[in-house]
């Protein structure tokens, strides 16, 4: 039986100083198609001016690119570093013009497109700094924020690759699971031989899954941590203010309490909204990563022998570091829950916001405990595998010694 695969088109926009990143995008797209097509019933197609345009004439070069590529894509990826690019007839650069065409598409139908913007935060050599170009980039960042944009920064090519892999997987997964309306215009049926995708996963498949899933997991937890850090101090200050005012009731303090309560509820609701998606998704990615590790261990006898036992020790160290990190997350979120519970019940708005946020953080704590248990189980499996291999080594040495002694006798 042939499979039905949905094709998603990605348009890549950038100035010419991020050639390495552009190549990485192509590599990530190829890796996605090789690794996740069966899981998500999706294939990605990358659209770049290098491969999807041809020489022609128009009002200017950018208008030629616009006409040939049009707006027939589902994901827009923009990358900027130290150059903003050359001006067009309408905008300060071709990249900016391409972004605003994508943003107009988003404005018309938000469910039809995802816009993903990345900025390289690597330090620049003084000799390569162009103040004029950097000023335009900073102005563009401000415009993005004013338009409701949320962009990511990266500090190395490896960091960029990891982020992009995680983000693309997340976007396609949401569309494939129906969490959002996937683009209909670019959906096409691709017939593929089911036998190609029905085979069991191999070493590199599991290895890619482990890397991708745990990168996703780390990104989700980082989003939660960053949001918590930003809002925790605000809520703590408001909690202290509420406690003080509630203990010293005056006509002024009553009005002040109402104001503080409203502000606190607002902060809590904003924070609750921001962490809603990562709280739901991190444990999914984590469990999939753990499952991939189990699969890799299952077939490890084919690849790991006594000469490569250090690979297992390395895996064990990674898992143990993960356990330490999870303990840290659990401690910090437990402390945060304590702060929430200590807040006085001053208004209905605050009580509702508090209840909703406590429910989400409680879920997070339970999932962290579950994740700790899963990680410990894998550590135990790795220990068992190490024991088996080291045991085989001892037996093998003993047998060789016995044979040697017999020959000597």
- The residues spanned by each domain of the chain are 3-196, 204-398
pLDDT of residue 253: 65
Q: Give the pairing type, strands 190-192 and 3-13.
A: antiparallel
Residues 319 and 311: their CA atoms lie apart, in Å, by: 13
Collect all residues with Cβ–Cβ distance below 8 Å to 161 and sequence separation of at least 6: 24, 27, 28
pTM of the entire structure?
A: 0.49
To the question of domain 3-196 being in CATH 3.40.50.300, the answer is yes
**In this structure, are residues 353 and 265 in contact, taking their beta carbons and an 8 Å threshold?**
yes
Domain 204-398, architecture per CATH: Up-down Bundle (1.20)
| Kind of pairing between the strands at 75-80 and 3-13 | parallel
Residue that the structure tokens 């990530």 belong to: 28
Alpha carbon separation from 292 to 77, 286, 297, 326 (Å, rounded): 29, 10, 9, 19
Contact 118, 79 (CB under 8 A): yes
Tell me if 329 sits within 8 A of 225, measured CB to CB: yes
Please give the Cα distance from 305 to 192 (Å, whole number).
Answer: 37
Bridge partner list, 45: 9
pLDDT value for 100: 94
Cα(227)–Cα(162) distance, integer angstroms = 21
- Nearest residue to 47 via CA among 102, 104, 111, 105: 102
Q: Outline where 109-199 has alpha helix (H).
A: 131-146, 157-176, 194-197
C-alpha Rg value of the chain to the nearest Å = 27
Among 153, 19, 117, 130, smallest CA distance to 82 is for 130
Torsion of CA 373, 293, 173, 364, to 10 degrees: 10
- In degrees and rounded to multiples of 5, residue 16 shows phi and psi of -85, 0
CB within 8 Å of 264: residues ≥ 6 apart: 235, 238, 239, 242, 343, 350, 353
Distance from C-alpha of 396 to C-alpha of 398, rounded to nearest angstrom:
5
Pair of tokens at residue 102: 């994508």
DSSP output for 191-249: EE-HHHHSSPP-HHHHHHHHHHHHHHHHHHHHHHHHHHHHHHHHHHHHHHHHHHHHHS-
State the Cα torsion 95-96-97-103 to the nearest 10°. 110
Alpha carbon 124 to chain centroid distance?
26
For residue 219, which of 318, 286, 132 has the smallest C-alpha distance?
A: 286
In degrees rounded to 5, what are phi and psi of residue 53? Answer: -130, 165
Q: Name the residue with tokens 């590199």.
A: 204
DSSP structure string for 255-282? HHHHHHHHHHHHHHHHHHHHHHHHHHHH
Task: Write the CB contacts of 298 (distance below 8 Å, at least 6 apart in sequence).
Answer: none
pLDDT at 259: 82
pLDDT of residue 391: 60
Of 312, 331, 314, the closest CA to residue 372 belongs to: 331
Structure tokens at 38: 């069966």
| pLDDT mean for each 10 residues of the chain (409 residues) | 76 93 93 84 90 89 90 94 91 94 89 92 75 88 85 90 91 74 42 38 77 83 82 73 70 72 80 81 86 79 58 72 82 80 74 84 89 86 75 42 46
Whether the Cβ atoms of residue 239 and residue 342 lie closer than 8 Å to each other? yes
Structure confidence at residue 201 (pLDDT): 73
User: Cα–Cα distance between 294 and 298 in angstroms, integer?
Assistant: 6
């Amino acid at each position: 039986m042939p499979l039905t695969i949905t094709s998603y088109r990605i348009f890549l926009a950038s100035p010419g100083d991020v050639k390495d990143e552009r190549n990485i995008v192509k590599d990530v797209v190829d890796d996605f198609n090789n690794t996740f097509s069966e899981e998500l019933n999706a294939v990605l197609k990358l659209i770049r001016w290098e491969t999807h345009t041809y020489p022609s004439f128009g009002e200017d070069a950018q208008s030629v690119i616009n006409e040939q590529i049009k707006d027939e894509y589902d994901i827009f990826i923009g990358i900027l570093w130290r150059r903003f690019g050359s001006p067009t007839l309408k905008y300060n650069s071709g990249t900016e013009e391409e972004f605003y065409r994508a943003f107009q598409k988003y404005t018309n139908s938000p469910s039809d497109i995802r816009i993903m913007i990345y900025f390289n935060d690597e330090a620049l050599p003084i000799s390569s700094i162009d103040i004029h170009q950097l000023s335009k980039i900073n102005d563009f960042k401000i415009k993005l924020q004013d338009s409701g944009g949320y962009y990511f920064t990266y500090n190395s090519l490896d960091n960029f690759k990891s982020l992009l892999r995680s983000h693309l997987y997340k976007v396609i997964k949401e569309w494939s699971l129906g969490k959002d309306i996937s683009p209909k215009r670019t959906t096409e049926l691709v017939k593929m031989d089911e036998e190609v995708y029905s085979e069991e996963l191999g070493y590199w498949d599991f290895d890619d899954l482990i890397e991708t899933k745990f990168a996703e997991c780390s990104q989700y937890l980082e989003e939660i941590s960053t949001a918590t850090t930003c809002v925790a101090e605000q809520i703590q200050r408001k909690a202290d203010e509420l406690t003080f005012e509630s203990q010293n009731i005056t006509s002024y303090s009553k009005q002040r309490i109402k104001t503080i309560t409203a502000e606190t509820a607002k902060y809590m609701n904003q924070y609750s909204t921001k962490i809603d998606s990562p709280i739901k998704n991190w444990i999914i990615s984590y469990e999939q990563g753990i499952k991939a590790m189990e699969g890799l261990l299952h077939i490890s006898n084919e690849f790991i022998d006594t000469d490569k036992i250090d690979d297992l020790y390395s895996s064990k160290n990674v898992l143990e570091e993960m356990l330490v990190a999870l303990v840290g997350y659990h401690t910090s979120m437990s402390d945060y829950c304590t702060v929430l519970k200590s807040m006085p019940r001053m208004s209905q708005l605050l009580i509702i916001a508090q209840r909703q946020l406590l429910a989400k953080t409680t879920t997070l704590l339970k999932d962290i405990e579950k994740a700790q248990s899963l990680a410990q189980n894998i550590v135990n499996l790795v220990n068992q595998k190490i024991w088996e291999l080291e045991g085989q080594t001892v037996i093998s040495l003993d047998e060789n010694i016995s044979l040697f002694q017999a020959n000597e006798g």
